[in-house]
């Protein structure tokens, strides 16, 4: 038996605004940041549970404070009891009756809870000596479902249905796990797309990413100026040819009527999707846009606050591509629920990544999904941007546009605190 | 010209969990709290701008930290420039491109921004020597609308429509202002309803609130046990008679199918509304419930994160009674937008109150609405609970169930820090 002895946070901020990498129509000058947390225990196994919340600068201190404050609840608790019953850990944090007022289940508090639950799953995976994707894929369906919270979901997905989905996923699972180990999982590149880049730089990177690096899709940021968008899309389509997929991302810049007008100028570019056309809270607005811009699919989800919003986007058929994020919701359990919801409603999930640690973390869920939930990679791919990977103990490895399967135990979030030290934010 | 010299926060926590006042199906043991903020300036007028976020205990420190962190943006700015152009102040805080990632526009950060904008409006009202309700009611329609942010609303409410609504409200405004000054605004009482109270205590308080204090509506908490609910509703209806309105509040305890089953046992009690049947994020769920329990109206809104959610609840006809809160969204400007949306969609607003400072603050918006927006009090009333009023410089005054019009300059949020001092939370 061991207990939790400390919950330690780090406010890392990388000065990415200096290069305009990461710039889009809403985020002019992000400083990619991580509110990073380590959970330490009294066990003699050298294992630290690691988690993080990705932010883009200011307010990262507030997330650290929220993690510290919620982490107090964990201090002194028996580790084994929590790791054996992650549903209990979820209830303890997500359903804290006083903390819930600050959401419920959204924003800073929910992301902070996500970092802590993620760190507990990291510890669970490390103790089992498995990468998280494999731990999840190999869990017994009933055991995995017992950790999930179906509150507010029963009109869309019941535990029995979730168990049935996972039981269906048992067939051929071992072959898919082998496939992941051998070939990895498809990625796509956002590297060419930042709004701060010149046309020449964009074209050059678009060619490099597709012709040299082997990505089968790229994505451009749009929404600042329509003429610029149309010119850049033409240049990009010429650069990559007709067989590589091209997606665009507006980062929530439009109102609903404006989104429809603007996107309807994009029909000539054979777009894979239009991402975040408007507020991530606007289910009805997205449904309206999706109908109006058909056949271009709508994609959204990286800032979707919780499973209750995903449920409604699915019920309202408000998107074609569902995007999930590794650090927006309350950790692995809520992300597994998102994948189960997507499977129930027959939607394609293409995870958001690119921020600090997001590539490292989110690929575990995509691989788990392929092994045990949707059982396919058809039309599915994980975003990739080459940012801050050097600060991770086990950075993702991409080969010919494919995310290679993580083999190290854990969830991918562990940072090399020593090398990142100089980016520790000082008050 | 003067500048902002300091933004000072206080973490006040009142140990209300000791008495079970405030207990409901989701909030077993709240400690009513306030993340209280004062904005100080270099002006020689003795005026402090005051605002707060109401919470129920744990996490109040995180809200204070968010206010401190965002407040840094305001330090050194010219006060007059902000107060003359509150739209600028909104943009500065709500549209900070890095902070927005932590929401956008929801949870801890949005509430913290609300406290700061509220404090600026408090200062603006104090400088004009008017209570906030009167300042808002007397503002020129174009001036008021110029402070509002219609982003993500243009499919439901455009600035021109808002101006038209306010122009319509000019007719008879002076008479309504006089009516408010003379008679006040209707309130209702939640005092009898806490789940921690015995049947006897509930009945005794129900009689006192209606027969002695003159409230025309009471509200009971429900959702823990169906038999208890039915028994308590019967006792309450007997105690208050057929002419007093009776509402119930489930505080988000049910899933959608369960809500429908449960509420359909309530048809005999002539309920004014059922409040918060499920997650405040579930627009589609509320719409389903509203159709299924007709003619009992659904009410919700006290935890609705922003105007984009209110917009959709209105578009989907997902509630009959719209409830707003004084400290959940980004201050007076967003609350004015909520009232304008309600007017456009012909919905009744009955504000949430009862927590620390909520009665003091929210009555300003209801009175502004009566004077200048909906121009009626028909079916409208403000929640009232007798909690922590003694810690406010200008506590609300209720007479025969009516909120009396505040006459002191400001927004009602100013606390008597000296008397509350002993409830300052120590780390």
Q: What residues of B are in contact with residue A66 (Cβ under 8 Å)?
A: 59, 62, 108
- For chain B, helix, strand, coil in percent to 5 are 45, 15, 40
Residue B252 to residue A30, Cβ atoms within 8 A: no
| Dist. CA A218–CA A244, nearest whole Å | 8
Predicted pLDDT of residue B27: 73
**Dist CA A412 CA A241 (whole Å):** 34
Which residue, A319, A290, A225, is CA-closest to A25?
A225
Complete DSSP assignment for A261-311: HHHTT-GGG-EEEEE--S-TT-HHHHHHHHHHHTTSPEEE-TT--SHHHHH
* Same domain, residue pair B123 and B180: no
- What single-letter DSSP state applies at residue A381? -
- Cβ pair A30:B97 closer than 8 A: yes
Final residue in a domain of this structure, among B79, B108, B130: B130
Chain B contact set for A155 (CB, 8 A): 255-257, 285, 288
Do B289 and B407 fall within a single domain? yes
Evaluate the CA torsion angle A394, A399, A403, A404 in order and state its sign.
negative
Distances (CA, A) of B359 to A8, A146, A342: 39, 42, 43
- The DSSP call for residue A212 is I
A157-172 tens-digit pLDDT: 999 999 999 999 999 9
Give a yes or no: residue B48 inside a domain. Answer: yes
CB pairs under 8 A between A and B: 198
Residue B126 shares a structural domain with residue B182: no
Rounded distance between C-alpha atoms, residue A262 and residue A378, angstroms:
29
Whole-angstrom distance, CA of residue B263 vs CA of residue B284: 17
Summarize pLDDT for B250-299 with one digit per residue, the tens.
999 999 999 999 999 999 999 999 999 999 999 999 999 999 999 999 99
Rounded CA-CA distance A331/A112 in Å is 9
Q: Please report whether residue A139 resides in a domain.
A: no
B126 token code pair: 């104090």
Q: Return the residue in A27, A28, A30, A59 with the most chain B beta carbons within 10 A, the one to mutate for interface testing.
A: A59
Q: Is residue B152 part of a domain?
A: no
What is the pLDDT averaged over residues B358-375?
Answer: 98
Q: Which residue has the tokens 């025969």?
A: B400
Interchain CB distance below 8 Å, B100 and A258: no
B138 part of a folded domain? no
The residue to which tokens 């129920």 are assigned: B56
Instruction: Judge if B234 and B365 occupy the same domain.
Output: yes
Residue A17 to residue A26: CA distance in whole angstroms: 13
**ipTM for this model:** 0.96
**Do residues A191 and A338 both lie within one domain?**
yes
CB contact at 8 A, B330 and B94: yes
> Which residues does B398 contact at the CB level (< 8 Å), separation at least 6?
B187, B213, B384, B404
Give the pLDDT of residue B79.
98
Residues of B annotated as part of the active site: 221, 352
Of A28, A97, A108, the CB nearest to B28: A97
CATH number of domain containing A318: 3.20.20.120
Claim to verify: residue A415 and residue A292 sit in the same structural domain: yes
Question: pLDDT for B64-99, tens place per residue?
Answer: 999 999 999 999 999 999 999 999 999 999 999 999
Report whether A356 contacts A14 (CB < 8 A).
yes
Angle at B167 between CA B165 and CA B172, to 5 degrees: 105
Instruction: Give the tokens for residue B106.
Output: 């929801």
Collapsed DSSP state (helix, strand, coil) of residue A169? coil
B322 and B388 assigned to the same domain = yes
CA distances to B118, B258, B262, B276 from B255, in Å: 34, 5, 10, 11
Q: Which residues of B touch A24 (CB under 8 A)?
A: none
Say whether both A223 and A326 belong to one domain.
Answer: yes
Q: Is residue A178 part of a domain?
A: yes
Q: Which of A110, A219, A221, A311 is catalytic?
A: A221
Peptide bond into A363 cis (omega under 30): no
* Contact by Cβ (8 Å): A93, B133: no
Q: Do A155 and B26 touch (CB under 8 A)?
A: no
Per the CB < 8 A criterion, the answer to whether A9 and A68 are in contact is yes
Residue B92 belongs to some domain of the structure: yes
**Beta A185-193 vs B245-249: how paired, if at all?**
unpaired
Of the three residues A75, A106, A130, the one that is the final residue of a domain is: A130
Element (H, E) at B180: helix B173-183
| The domain boundary residue, chosen from B95, B130, B165 | B130
The torsion angle over the Cα atoms of residues B419, B423, B426 and B427, rounded to 10 degrees, is -140
The answer to whether residue A167 is catalytic is no
Asked if the structure places residue B163 within a domain, the reply is: no
Cross-chain Cβ contact A101/B303 below 8 Å: yes
Q: What residue in B sits closest to A17 (Cα-Cα)? A: B98
Share of chain B above pLDDT 70, in %: 99
Rounded to 10 deg, the angle between the A283-293 and A307-315 helix axes is 40
- pLDDT band for position B141 (50/70/90)? very high
Task: Write out pLDDT tens, residues B122-133.
Answer: 999 999 999 999
| A125 & A215 share domain | no
Residue B297's contacts (CB-CB under 8 Å, 6 or more residues apart) are B272, B273, B274, B290, B319, B320, B321
Prediction pTM value: 0.97
Do residues A216 and A284 both lie within one domain? yes
Cβ–Cβ gap A256/B308 under 8 Å: no
Q: Is residue B78 part of a domain?
A: yes
The pLDDT assigned to A196 comes to 83
Domain extent at residue B105: 3-130
**Shortest Cα distance, chain B CAs vs residue A235, angstroms:** 28
Band of pLDDT at residue B398, cut at 50, 70 and 90: very high
What is the pLDDT, as a whole number, of residue A21? 65
Residue A11 sits in a domain whose CATH number is 3.30.390.10
- Number of residues that this document lists for chain B: 427
Phi first, then psi, for residue A188 (nearest 5°) are -135, 160
Strand-pair partners of B424: B12
Contact list, A252 vs chain B (CB under 8 Å): 104
State whether B216 and B353 are in the same domain.
Answer: yes
Tally of domains in chain B: 2
Q: Do A55 and B96 touch (CB under 8 A)?
A: no
Q: Are residues B125 and B263 in the same domain?
A: no
**Residue numbers in chain A where pLDDT is lower than 50:** none
């Amino acid at each position: 038996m061991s207990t939790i002895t400390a919950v330690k946070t780090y406010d890392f901020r990388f000065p990415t605004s200096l290069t305009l990498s990461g710039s889009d129509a809403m985020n002019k000058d992000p400083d990619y940041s991580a509110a990073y947390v380590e959970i330490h225990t009294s066990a003699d196994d050298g294992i630290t549970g690691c988690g993080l919340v990705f932010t883009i600068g200011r307010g990262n201190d507030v997330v650290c404070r929220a993690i510290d404050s919620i982490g107090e609840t964990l201090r002194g608790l028996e580790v084994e009891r929590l790791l054996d019953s992650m549903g209990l850990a979820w209830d303890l944090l997500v359903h804290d009756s006083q903390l819930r007022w600050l959401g419920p289940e959204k924003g800073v508090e929910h992301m902070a809870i996500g970092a802590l639950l993620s760190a507990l799953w990291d510890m669970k995976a490390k103790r089992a000596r498995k990468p998280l994707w494999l731990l999840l894929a190999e869990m017994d369906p009933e055991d995995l479902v017992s950790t999930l919270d179906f509150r507010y979901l029963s009109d869309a997905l019941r535990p029995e249905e979730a168990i049935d989905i996972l039981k269906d996923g048992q067939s051929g699972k071992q072959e898919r796990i082998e496939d992941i180990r051998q070939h990895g999982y498809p990625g796509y590149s956002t590297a060419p797309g930042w709004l701060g880049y010149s046309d020449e730089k964009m074209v050059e990177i678009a060619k490099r990413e597709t012709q040299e690096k082997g990505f089968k899709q790229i994505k451009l940021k749009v929404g600042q100026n329509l003429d610029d968008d149309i010119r850049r899309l033409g240049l990009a389509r010429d650069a990559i040819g007709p067989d590589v997929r091209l997606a665009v991302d507006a980062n929530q810049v439009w109102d609903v009527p404006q989104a429809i007008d603007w996107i309807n100028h994009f029909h000539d570019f054979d777009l894979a999707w239009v991402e975040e056309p408007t507020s991530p809270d606007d289910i009805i607005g997205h449904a309206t846009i999706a109908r109006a811009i058909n056949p271009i699919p709508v994609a959204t989800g990286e800032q979707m606050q919780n499973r209750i919003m995903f449920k409604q986007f699915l019920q309202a058929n408000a998107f074609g591509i569902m995007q999930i994020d590794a650090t927006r919701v309350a950790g692995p359990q809520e992300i597994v629920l998102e994948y189960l919801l997507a499977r129930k409603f027959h939607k394609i999930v293409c995870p958001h990544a690119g921020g600090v640690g997001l590539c490292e973390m989110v690929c575990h869920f995509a691989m788990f999904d392929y092994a045990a939930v949707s059982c396919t990679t058809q039309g599915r791919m994980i975003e990739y941007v080459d940012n801050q990977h050097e600060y991770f103990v086990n950075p993702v490895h991409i080969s010919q546009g494919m995310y290679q399967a993580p083999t190290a135990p854990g969830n991918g979030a562990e940072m090399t605190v020593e090398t990142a030290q100089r980016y520790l934010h000082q008050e």
